Structure 1
Amino acid sequence: MGGLFHPLTEVTNQTLAERRLNILRAVTDSTINAKTVAEASTLILACLKDFELDLPFVLWYSVAADGKEANLEGHIGVEKDSPLFPSKIYLEEHSLKSWPFTEVIQTGKGVQVKELAKIFGRFSCGPYDEPPAQAMVFPVTLHCTDHSKYFLVTGVSSRRDLDEKYLSFYDLLAASTTNALTKAKAYEEERKKAEALTEIDKAKTVFFSNISHEFRTPLTLMLSPLEELLNQKKNNFSEIDKGNIETTHRNATRLLKLVNTLLDISRIESGRVQAIFSLVDIVVLTKNLVSNFRSLIETAGLQLIVIADSIIEPVAFTKRHFVYRGFCWSCDFPYTSIERKNRPSPKLYKLPNKISLLLLQLWIK
C-alpha cells in the first residue's frame, strides 16, 4: 500500500488578526498630523476605504450643537443614492427604519443592527455579491471643551460571523477613532486659544499706541507755551510764580517721557522697533547715567560708588534712552530697610562679546 501525507496549517485567524491590526495602525498613522476634527475625519474615511474585506461600508455622523439631530459627514463603500445613509436623523424620533442613535446615546456602547435589508430596503455594497446583513453603531465622544459627539457606523462582512474577535476589533477601531479625533480636537482648541491671545495682544498694543498718542498731543501743546514763558528774558513773574511754572514744566516733561516709554514698549511688543547701533564709550556712558542718581542718593545720606573697568575698544550700543530706562528699573533699592549706611555700587565688567553691569547693595547695621 502506498499513501501521501499532506500536512496543512490553519492560519485564517492569524491572517485576520494581522489584517485588522494593520487597519488600527493605519488609522493612527494617517491622523497623526491632523490639525482639525474635520481633517481627521476625512483622513480616517480615506484610510478605511482600503479595507473593505473587514469594513464593507462606513458611515460617519456628527451630532448638531442642540443635540436634536445627527448629520451625515461622510461615507465609504456604498453608492451615493443608497438608502443606508439618510443625510439627517432626528434623535428625538424613535424610528425602526433608521439607525439606533438614540439607543447608542443612552447605553454609551456599540449597538448591533441586524437585517439591514428589512430596515433600509435593498442596497448594493461590496466587496462581495451579497451585501452585508449586519452593522455596528458606535458612539464617538470627544472629551474636550464641548464634549462633541459623533457616530461611527460600520458594516459587518457578509462572509464572516460576528464573533467575539470581530466585535473586539470593532471596539478597538472605535477607540482608535476616538483617540485620533480627540487629539485633533485638542490641537484645534489650543490653536484657537493661541489665536485669541494673539488678537488680545494686538488689541492691547493698538490701544496703548492710540492712548499714548492721545496723551502726547496735549502734553506737547502744554509744554510749548511753558517753554516760551520760561525763555522770556523780561517777565513780571514773582519767584513763586516762576517756581510753579518750572515745576509744571518739569512734571509735564517727565510725563511726556513716560508716555514715550509706553510707546516704546508697545513698539517692542509689536515687533516694530528697529535697533540702531552706534559706537560709544561705555565707561563714560555708564558714569554719566549713574551720576543722575548721585544727588538723590547723597541727599538721603548715602554714598554712591561707581567702579568701571577700563575698556579700550568702543562698544556698539542701541538708543541711549533704552539703556537709561534699563538702568533706572535696575536701581530699585529698599532704602527704608537701611539703618546706618548703604552703598549701592554699580560695577561695570567686560565679558566675552558683552558688557555686564553689576549692581551691589551693601549696608552696615
Structure 2
Amino acid sequence: MRISFRKTVLLAVFCVSSLCLLTGCEPSERKVLSSSYYKELQQENQKLEKQVEKLQEEAADNSPTVDEERAVDYLDKIARDNLVRLEVGYADNMDGSEFVDNEAAFTFATLLAKRADLTQKYTPEEVEEMYGPGYEYILYDEDNAVYEVYVYGGNYVVFTDLPNNVYYVYNASALGDAFLHYRNGYPNSSLLHRLADSALIIDEAGMFYENETAFAAANSIDQMEKERSSRREARRTWRQEEREESGTGRPKPVTYTFYHHGNTMVLTMFDSFYCIENMDGKRTWYRAAEEDVNQLKDLFTQASAQMQEEINEGSQNSQEEETEEEPSHSSEIEEESDVSSLDEEE
C-alpha cells in the first residue's frame, strides 16, 4: 500500500514538472532579481561600465587638438621641403651669421624636423632662461617659405611658428658648431682633437656624417700603425706598381671634409696612403697597411648606410632626453698621441 502511494506521489510530481516545461513555466521575476547569480552579474556589469567610461575619457584626452595637428603638419612640411638656402648665426646677434649653400647641410636641416620630439620638460621661457641664447637657423625653401629655428643647450629647439612648444632634437646644434666661428678666438688644440670634435663631415657624394663618425675616424687614425710619408713617395710607389702590373697607377681617392667651428679639414684616402689637410691648407701624408686604411673607409661606408636609412624613413625618431649637452669626445684621446705632430707639414 505504501509503495503504491509513493508511486502515485512521484507520478504526480513528474506530471506537474512536465506540465511546467510544456507550458513554459519559468521562475518569477522577483526570484530572479533576488538571486545571488543575478547580483553577481549586476556587479560585473557595473565594473565594465566604469572601465568603458575610463577608456572613453582616455581616448578623448589622447585625441590630438587643433594645435597639435597643426604642429605635426608644420614639422612634416619642413621634413619634406626642398631648401635652397640656410642661414646660421648666434641667436642674440645675427649680424655675423653665415649663409650656407650646401645640399648636405640642407638635408641635415630638414632632418631636425623629423627628429623633433615634443617635450613637457621645459616651457620656451624656461629653456631660454636655463641655457641662454644659443643658435638661430633660418631655412629658405624653393617656394619662398621661411622657417626660423632656435637651438638651446645643444638639443632643445623652438620653432617660431610653434612658439608654445619645446622639442627635443638630438644634435640640433651641429649646424652652428660646424659653420660658426668661436666668438672668443680659436682655442689651441691638435689637429687630431679638432677632427674628433668636428660637428659635421661631408663627402663628395653629398652625404653628411655627425660627430660620432668624426670621433670614430679620429680614434682609428690615432690607433693606426703608420709612418710619415709624402706625395712624392706615393706617386713613385704607384708608378712602380703600374710598371710591375701589380697596380693601376694612382688609385681613386675618397675625400671627407670635416667642419669645425667655421674651419675645415680634409681627409683624403687612397690605398695604403692617405693625407690630412689642416685648416691652414697644409697637408701631411701618411702610409699605413692597406687593410687599416680600408677599415677606415668601411667606417664611413657603414655610417653612410645608417644615415641614409634615417633620411629615408620619413618619420620622427624619438630620442631619450638628456639633461645636459653632449660632452666633447676630444678629451678621450690622449694628448701624447703619436700623431700630435699632424699640424706640421713635412
Highest relative contact order (Cα 8 Å, sep 6+), 1 or 2? 2
Assess same fold via TM > 0.5. no
Shorter-chain TM-score: what band? under 0.3
TM-score, normalising length: structure 2: 0.26
